[in-house]
Structure 1
Amino acid sequence: MTQTGKKPRILIVGGGAGGLELAVKLGESLGKTERAEITLVDRSRTHVWKPLLHQVAAGTLDSHSDELEYLALSVRHHFHFRLGELVGLDRAAKEIHLAPVLSLEGEELLPESRLGYDYLVFALGSLTNDFGTPGAKEHCISLDSAPAALHFQRKLIDASLRAQLARPEQGRFTVTIIGGGATGVELAAELHMSTRIMTSYGLENLHPERDVKIVIVDAAPRILPLLPERVSSAVTRELRKLDIDVHTNEKVVQVSPEGVQMGSGKLIASGLTVWAAGIKAPDFLRDIGGLETNRANQLVVDKTLRSSRDPAIFALGDCAACPLDDSGKLVPPRAQAAHQQALLLAKTLPRLLSGKSALPFRYHDHGSLVSLGEYSTVGSLMGGIRSGSLFIEGMFAKWMYWSLHKKHQIAINGMFRTWLATWVEAIDRIRNPRIKLH
């Protein structure tokens, strides 16, 4: 109990993978026993695992079948859920400010409000960073959320229907993906598979090698620059087998309705453009409440994930600039890092309530996997052999990639519910079209 006799209030802002897992674990350990009041805040009503958004965009995954309802989860796991978007922080009063919640018609559902806390955790994830490139905001789609992925999928279907009636002399329809990281690469392979499947539903003019061109552009010397070179080389070979163009060492200087202009002078005439290069934390986090942030708007935290300027505030995941070691490097923005940090804070916060010290965070790199849809999966597992890593590809890698999503579901829903959901997914693959066509 606090000095006022009330239960301690732990407020988590952001219901992504890390934030939701933390809310579930604290709800089970502190909320269930009424040792603390746990509240999760998110501007969306449902949760979709972010690494799957490229499948939502390609139509190979129906987000409605995979999404989780925050309200239902809050009841099941003994935490509170508050719908709202963070717009301000009052550290002196220990309150956050939430914007009004509006309906689709613009009517006010919930007024502007404030929520108090004793401990505050930021788990807001990240957004794509267009680095101020002219025309990027106006003419590119960024896959930062499920609504954005669905917007791209609708644009893809519309473009596919138009391409179906196009005359051969009008040329191929081009989809340009700016960014050769995991998101861009996985989206390219998923789009190739999606357009191939469309031919079986009557869209004969959408053969992926004949009528659709998929292009990846990246400023780095190779795609997947943060992963081992062997992984990058293997993925590049697979993409070229699919006739997907890969342009490296090419900086995008402008995006227009006509296409993508590169610094070398090349122009890619693009019918649909996705920006998947670079990340940053949301802009409103920049110096919020006087907290220290870096150039990418990330909150600067110490090795315990505690804010450098307020001991009652923590941050995890992509929105946190957490030191990796004494070299000055930061923990990489990966889902596995957010998962590990959520596990740490699930131990740290109960310790703080008991008067104990916070635990330090140590990042363990378990490797990286890149899914190329039904074609292949390539990656490396850290600690697999004495040299520190094990290169994998093919069916074993596919199974490992699939298991990552299942581990996330188990962390939130438990083993039994995840087992049931897996059977439902298998039935849906038989009952429904292989891709979402609307």
Structure 2
Amino acid sequence: MSERIPKIVVVGGGAGGLELVTKLGKKLGKKGKAEITLVDSTSTHIWKPLLHEVAAGTLDSHEDEIEYLSQANCSGFRFRMGKMDGLDRKNKQISLAPTINKEGLEIIPRRHFDYDYLVIAVGSVSHDFGIKGVKDHCLFLDTTKQAETFQNKLLQAYLRAHTQGRPLDEGQLNIAIVGAGATGVELCAQLYEVSHLLTAYGLDEVKPTDVKITLIEAADRILPGLPENISAAAHEELSKLGVEVLSGERVVEVTPDSIKTESGKVVPAPIKVWAAGIKAPEFLKDIAGLETNWMNQLVVRQTLQTTLDDDIYAIGDCCACKWQGHDENVPPRAQAAHQMASLVYKSIRMRMAGKEAPEYHYHDYGSLVSLGRYGTVGNLMGNLSRGSMMIEGLMARMMYLSLYKMHQVALFGPFRVLMLSLSHLFRRSVHPKIKLH
């Protein structure tokens, strides 16, 4: 009688989750050494740091998305679509909620999956902090669908303004972005580029100067999580683009046509984006008695195993892992998710061989913020620069682009990424620079 192979279930197909199942599938799944399953509530993957480009329309998500079923077929794992909503630790089983279509019909029933090792990698969602009006009147950029919703609303606003046959109303195309982290800053630069591209493509009744972009941040400077010199450089670039930056302004209410701050400022804007904070999805809060924090993140030990269950791991934005040598947790960045995925892959293989789980040590290689074709700023840290070194311009831009290529290499290998890159160059020569529908 053959020995039962272990079942490894990864919930969440973001940067870390998809890289992990791809590696596990190729090394264990294809060889019949383990049964690897990826669970996600959607059918496709796109690298989350690209969502601001999808929102602006400068990236067509349908050209860069990855079909989970296709990746599973190539990499030796299986994909099951569904949203996790329950965990039975005693019987080592997760449950997925039924999938309902737009007409309200159940197309996939409730299901249960057994596991020997469970990895939760469900990422994060926007945190509105209970502020009045945010949920009802702001757009979010947590998913591809939300980014596409923003892009459609933006394009419709332009088309309406272009064809209305009269001068624009005061503030008709105002856009306000709350939260000056990387997403908010990068979106500002992309929207400035869009205002010029749409004019060039024929929507010339709207001038770029008709679009006013306002960035609102509660901290005393933009990019508060990065060094001050990076923040100052990004602020200077945004000012050159005409973006109004309001720092030290805490939002207290959002209405259908404006944003109100604690100091009494009222920012009129029919289009509003909330990018001011993150938290783990609500279903994780105290799930199955596991330890979570105020952001719903699963608290993990240095091995990335949850504090109360050795067979459950958490990686990426949904986990709270102490950053060794610091008074804070590992920051929610793509590089952290990538490193965590590599550690858990190694950990599971070691435990299958009867060895102890290794510890995770986060290596901060710096941060880069893209301002589209107008510039890139950032800093290099660690062994790359023997400390911290600020970089700008072409070098920073090339390193920013390389981050996505590293993610692609982890999924497809170097040769396929080279072919994809060449294909992308050819597409750019015949396709418009912005999505126009």
TM-score scaled by length of structure 2: 0.97
Q: Following the alignment from structure 1 to structure 2, what is the Cα–Cα distance between the partners of residues 260 and 177?
A: 10
**Equivalent residue letter for 2:24:** L
In structure 2, the partner of 1:428 is 427
Q: 1:21 aligns with which of 12, 19, 22?
A: 19
What's the CA shift for 1:102?
Answer: 2.5
Q: Which amino acid aligns with 2:144?
A: A
Contact 2:365-2:384 at 8 Å conserved across structures: no
* 3-state secondary structure, aligned to 1:206: coil
Aligned to 2:157: 159
Q: Contact conserved, 2:178 with 2:273, CA < 8 A, in 1? A: yes
What is the SS of the residue equivalent to 1:260?
A: strand
Query: Contact between 1:179 and 1:276, CA under 8 Å: does it hold in 2?
Result: yes
Alpha-carbon distance between aligned partners in 2 of 1:23 and 1:263, rounded to the nearest angstrom: 45
Alignment of 1:53-72 (within 5 A): 53-72=51-70
SS at match of 1:323: coil
Aligned alpha-carbon RMSD (Å): 1.4
Q: Which residue of 1 aligns with 2:10?
A: 12
Matches of residues 8-407 of structure 1 in structure 2 within 5 Å? Answer: 8-165=6-163, 167-168=166-167, 170-172=169-171, 173-208=173-208, 210-325=209-324, 327-383=326-382, 388-407=387-406
1:415 Cα deviation after fit: 1.1
Q: Is the 8 A contact 2:161 2:168 kept in 1?
A: no
With the length of structure 1 as denominator, give the TM-score of the two structures. Answer: 0.97
Determine the C-alpha separation between the residues in 2 that align with 1:342 and 1:206.
46
Aligned partner of 1:425: which letter? H
Matched-pair contact (CA < 8 Å) for 2:291–2:307 = yes
Contiguous gaps of at least 5 residues in structure 2: none
CA-to-aligned-CA distance 1:226-274 (integer Å, 9 cap, x gap): 0111110000000000100000000000001121011111101111000
Give the gaps of 5 or more residues in structure 1: none
Contact 1:205/1:211, CA 8 A, preserved across alignment: no
What is residue 408 of structure 1 aligned with on the other side? 407
| d(CA) in 1 for partners of 2:292, 2:424 | 41
- Distance of 2:216 and 2:430 partners within structure 1: 37
Which stretch of the first structure deviates more once superposed, 54-63 or 99-108?
99-108
Q: Which residue identity lines up with residue 185 of structure 2 in the other structure?
A: V
Structure 1 residue 396 displacement after superposition: 1.1
How far apart in 2 are the matches of 1:218 and 1:205? 32
Superposition deviation, residue 282 in structure 1: 0.3
Aligned length: 435
**Superposed displacement of residue 200, structure 1:** 1.1
Runs (4+) off by over 6 Å: none
CA deviations over 1:183-242 (Å, ceiling 9, x no partner): 00000100110111000111113332x100001000000000001111100000000001
The letter for the 2-side match of 1:6 is: R
Aligned residues of 1:383 and 1:390 also touching (Cα < 8 A):
no
Q: Deviations over 1:339-378 (max 9, x none)?
A: 0000111111011111100000000000000000110010
Aligned-pair CA distance for 1:179: 0.2
3-state secondary structure, aligned to 2:159: helix
> Structure 1 residues 386, 71: closer, same or farther in 2, change over 3 A?
closer
